[in-house]
């Protein structure tokens, strides 16, 4: 099973350690492999260090790709997170 989606980083501080941690936490329960792609960089969406190393800024367009069991649900959950998460850093800025 495969699934994919497109999304955009809405947070002023970009995709930094806090949202990255929420993402990893969120994806732990899905057995599939899942990747986040920005331009030419691909990262494992279950690794905080890889996600923050993407350097995705506010406004960056990302592609999510999943392969394996429950791919569709994982992609759906991740997309919802990108749409709904309010970053605390935004409130500080």
Count of residues in the chain: 93
In the complex, the smallest distance separating the C-beta of residue 91 from other proteins, rounded to whole angstroms, is 9
- The catalytic residue among 16, 35, 67, 73 is 16
Interface with other proteins by CB under 8 A: which residues?
A: 13-14, 16-18, 20-22, 24-25, 44, 47-50, 52-53, 55, 57, 88-89
According to DSSP, residue 32 is labeled S
| DSSP code string of 58-79 | TT-EEEEEEESTTHHHHHHHHH
Q: Which is nearer to other proteins, 72 or 77 (CB)?
A: 77
Catalytic residue status for 4: no
Q: Which is nearer to other proteins, 75 or 87 (CB)?
A: 87
């Amino acid at each position: 099973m495969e699934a994919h989606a497109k999304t955009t980083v809405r947070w002023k501080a970009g995709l930094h350690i806090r949202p990255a941690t929420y993402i990893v936490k969120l994806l732990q329960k899905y057995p599939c492999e899942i990747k986040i792609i920005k331009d030419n960089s691909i990262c494992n969406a279950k690794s905080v260090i890889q996600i923050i190393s993407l350097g995705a800024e506010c406004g960056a367009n990302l592609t999510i790709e999943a392969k394996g069991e429950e791919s569709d649900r994982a992609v759906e959950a991740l997309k919802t997170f990108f749409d709904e998460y309010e970053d605390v850093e935004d409130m500080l800025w």
